[in-house]
Structure 1
Amino acid sequence: MSATLNPNIFRAYDIRGVAERDLTTESVVPIANSFAAMLVDAGSRDVALGRDVRASSPRIAEVFRQALSSAGLQVYDLGIVSTPMLYYGVSRFQRGGGVMITASHNPSPDNGLKLLINDVAISGDRIQEIYQGAQAGRKIVADGGAVHTTDILDTYVTELTEQACIGPRALKIAVDGGNGMSGPSITRLLDRLGIEHIDLYCDPDGDFPNHHPDPTQIDTLVDLQRTVLEHGCDLGLAFDGDGDRIGVVDEEGRVIHGDRLVIIYAREILKEVPGARIVGEVKCSDTLFSMIEKWGGDPIMSRVGHSFIKATLRENGALLAGEMSGHMFFKHRYYGFDDAVYAAMRLLEIASNVPEDAPFSTLLADVPDTVTTPEIRVDCPDISKFGVVDSVVSHFRALRPVEDIDGARIRFENGWGLVRASNTQPVLVLRFEATTDAELNAYQSEIMEVVTAAISACDDSV
């Protein structure tokens, strides 16, 4: 094999790097061949292929068409789609696997791969198997493969339209597509549902000319917030680059974070299915878990990452899962994958049943407020970050309750602090919650002192 593969692009739950450095054609060929062999080993006969609108995506897609069909597989090429539409194409038509070419919310020079066997996104050790197979030059050649061009946009929007239970309230909403892949599907869906919408940046553009395509970054929501206020909208919706993250602002332009969105969805599901299991990840507020319990549900805490949370959803028979990052997974009435357009439809169902004289924000009026930090990112080399987290766990376990399913979630009297290693970057991710500012500052100071010392100790040992 002539290409040199960068092992750092093989991440916890996808493959991602700079397209013209890490995912050159020469590098993608052995990756595609390795995944094709994995599909054949799993007994798959067909596979769905999709891509976003980044400049490098057509080149990478052509490599996968060749590799998959040469391995004897039937390749259903969906063309330019969102990641949830690729997942939909696999789940709805029971394909034996899937390949989505996207770098999600990363900058335009990046690209990546989200890979599925049957309808399960591969992660962890399976990602490393792809790398090892690519390094070894693994390749299967078989007759009978073919490529079939398939357009599923109308099928996808039609299913969401038919499922939607829109209430009596007439809504006006603002939509920021972020020049990502959700624009065409969300605008078509809103038109079919008869919902008035003011659109921003809903034409896909892989250069993302208006703002970075990540609604979890508050500065990307400025135009949406202004539009909601100027037009008197009931709420605003934002989408990331590949369409699996949703961002929401209320009628006053206030951001509704992912864990509070899960609260809104959970209340409605628990009315219909008492006792339902609902999953939140380790960065979510304690309020989420306590409200689920209050309403008779069964809350479950998961690791961060779409592959991990989907596995937790599936293994526990849960009906809903959500992340702070805006990934929302509905098994209730849907397939269980993260789909921001579907999540938007479910939110519009709820909003359209709010009384005419009440704002959208009343959906959270009875939910207790806490004091939280945003995500705090601390630089820490990949080689050291997991050792730092282990040191933090060891230190605090002797002092306080620690949940260690994903890093260290350290419990204090009236709150908690989280330290975990990023799955995708050389950083530690920290977050804190308390009932008062003073408590928040105290918890943060105590944990940061330990983290700083652990980083220094790891640096000295390298």
Structure 2
Amino acid sequence: MTTAPDLSQLIKSYDVRGIVGETLTAEVATAIGSAFADAIVLPDGETTVAIGHDMRDSGPWLADAVAAGLALRGVDVVRIGLCSTDGLYHASGALDIPGVMITASHNPAAYNGMKLCRSRARAVGENSGLADVRALASQYLVDAPAAAGTPGSETTREMVGEYGAFLRGLVPLEGVRPLKVVVDAANAMAGYTVPAVLGTAAGLPELPLEIIPLYFELDGTFPNHEANPLETENLRDLQAAVKEHGADIGLAFDGDADRCFVVDERGEVVTPSAITCLVGLRETARELAEDPSAEPTVIHNLISSRAVREQLAEAGATPVRSRVGHSFIKAEMARLNAVFGGEHSAHFYFRDFFYADSGMLAAMHVLAALGSQDGPLSAMIAQHEPYTASGEINSTVDSVPDALARVKAAFVTADVYSDEFDGLTVEHWPAPGEGERWWFNVRPSNTEPLLRLNSEADGQELMERMRDQVLAVIREG
């Protein structure tokens, strides 16, 4: 009897990610397509799945393989072709069908993968069906499933224009002042979606935006830099171009364009927490304007700046703290009917976008806010960055439990707040003038013997001191 292969390193907690031709082959993709049909699509009573892919060379044939696996089990397929991940989410939401996005997001060129969703872009993760897909796909690589009595059919549909029109309907930009905008697409999907949504490439009317493109040519080998704006070196070209052109703002998207980072007119990076504040306040104000009795909820992950919860609460919203990870935030968004959600990694989620994340929609909110007033972005955003953060710092440790225990013993005292909601959070934040104000979170990696530290304080010197003290304890083993 043949042993079923272990797909745990390919089909992970949130998505599928592997090396093309090695861990991710056409045979494996077909098995995943059939497993998705049998574990999720058909049990949900669905009959049709949307499939899109990013600019990687392997995207079209992997989409063919997934479509074949779905068709084998009698599921129809709508092929929407080249798209961003939020473009696939739009198709899933607008057509009310499940979806498969072929992408490896910001991973290097050798990789590809998949993001799966139920109808209306509902996330599929480890605890919401992905473990079942993994188990079935592994089985189907040994014993292929029987063909359905009637195989699924396949149609194609061009949706980028509908996607652009939908986003413009959520955040109108026609009336903003003229803005000069540098966009770094990293040779990835923003090179396709920005001209369609912010320009006229999909037949939409012209906006008062001068787009200065960097690396818009689609190339899944990423010849200029990785499509991962979370790494500061991948923002340097954008920062230089903003200053060179005297632009009002710079935008950087990741490989599948579901994340967006912002650079101000000075070339300084705006923190995703500040964007969470800005957009969260806009969405809160809009909901209260529509219904003064509303009680808007905004989700933020637990390593977002303290300013997020302070400013949202002051504006009348209920800020809700979530674990790190998009599947947790999406679940909380839907459970609480939250108007908006933001993560430190620059994933931004919108109730009006099927509770899904969209880098483009977040960018449009920032453009709308900037273009509705006369000041520079740096001045507009300063109020949302009152504290100093360390950024995420990784430490390799011999024993994650032992290192966490050392940190707990050293810092959890009677005069601090602490919890173990997601790793260990320790907070000392008295009223202004009543003592030092700082917090930190230490949480383990899901895949490596690492601890990730994020800290924030009311001042640079205090942040650096607390950061260094916690790191010393983490690394003393």
Query: TM-score of the superposition, structure 2-length normalised?
Result: 0.88
Query: For structure 1, which runs of at least 5 residues remain unmatched after alignment?
Result: 457-462
The one-letter code matched in structure 1 to 2:273 is: D
2:171/2:361 contact within 8 Å kept:
no
Q: 3-state SS of the aligned residue for 2:228?
A: coil
Q: Distance in 1 between matches of 2:343 and 2:8?
A: 27
Tell me, in whole angstroms, the C-alpha distance in 2 between the residues paired with 1:341 and 1:335. 14
Q: 1:298 to 1:89 in 2, by over 3 A?
A: same
Matching residue within 141, 146, 149 for 2:153: 146
Match of 1:197 in 2: 211
The within-5 A match list for 1:22-101 is: 22-38=23-39, 39-95=41-97, 97-101=98-102
CA contact (8 A) 2:84 2:189 kept: yes
**Among residues 123, 128, 132, which one is paired with 1:129 in the alignment?**
132
Q: C-alpha displacement at 1:286, in angstroms?
A: 0.6
Q: What is the rounded CA distance, in whole Å, between the counterparts of 1:208 and 1:158 in structure 2?
A: 29
**Structure 2 residue 237 is the aligned partner of structure 1 residue 254:** no
* Aligned twin of 2:474: 451
1:354 aligns with 2:373: yes
Q: Shift of the alpha carbon at 1:380?
A: 5.2
Q: Offset at 1:134?
A: 2.1
8 A contact 2:274–2:385 mirrored in 1 = no
Question: Which residue is equivalent to 2:316?
Answer: 296
| Contact preservation (8 Å) 2:242, 2:248 | yes
CA distance in 1, matches of 2:42, 2:401: 34
**How many angstroms apart in 2 are the aligned matches of 1:350 and 1:368?**
16
Q: Matched residues in 1 for 2:217 and 2:462: separation?
A: 45
**Residues 206-225 of structure 1 aligned to structure 2 (within 5 Å):** 206-225=220-239
TM-score, structure 1 normalization: 0.90
Contact kept? 2:278, 2:384, Cα under 8 Å: no
* Contact 2:179-2:208 at 8 Å conserved across structures: no
What is the aligned counterpart of 1:412 among 410, 417, 428? 428
Q: Secondary structure at the match of 2:298?
A: strand
Q: Which residue of 2 aligns with 1:377?
A: 394
Q: Across the two proteins, how many residue pairs are aligned to each other? A: 448
Give the Å deviation of 1:439. Answer: 2.6
Q: Which amino acid aligns with 2:38?
A: A
Residues 1:29 and 1:391: Cα distance change in structure 2 (over 3 Å):
farther
Counterpart position of 1:185: 193
Supply the distance in 2 between the matched residues of 1:3 and 1:210 (Cα, whole angstroms): 40
Aligned-pair CA distance for 1:42: 2.2
In structure 2, stretches of 5+ residues that fail to align are 200-205, 289-294, 430-436
The CA distance in 2 between the partners of 1:82 and 1:208, in whole Å, is 16
1:103-122 matches, within 5 Å, as 103-118=104-119, 119-122=121-124
**Are the aligned partners of 2:4 and 2:139 in contact in 1 as well (CA < 8 Å)?**
no
3-state secondary structure, aligned to 1:283: coil
Seen in structure 2, the aligned counterparts of structure 1 residues 320 and 20 have a Cα distance that, compared at 3 Å, is same
CA deviations over 1:282-338 (Å, ceiling 9, x no partner): 12111111111122211111111222111111111110101111111111x432211
- Give CA deviations for 1:39-91 in whole Å, capped at 9, x if unaligned: 21222211111111222222321211110011111111111211111111000
What is the aligned-residue identity percentage? 31
Q: What per-residue deviation string (whole Å, max 9, x for no partner) do you get for residues 223-269 of structure 1?
A: 11111111111111110000111010111111011110011112222
Cα RMSD after superposing both structures: 2.3
> In 2, distance between residues paired with 1:196 and 1:7?
46
SS at the partner of 1:212? coil
Shift in Å at residue 423 of structure 1?
4.2
Q: Aligned AA for 1:8?
A: Q
- Contact 2:30/2:68 (8 A) holds in 1: no
Q: What is the one-letter code of the residue matched to 1:24?
A: T
Q: 1:310 aligned to 314, 321, 330, which one?
A: 330
Contact 1:4–1:27 (8 Å) recurs in 2: no
Partner of 1:102: 103
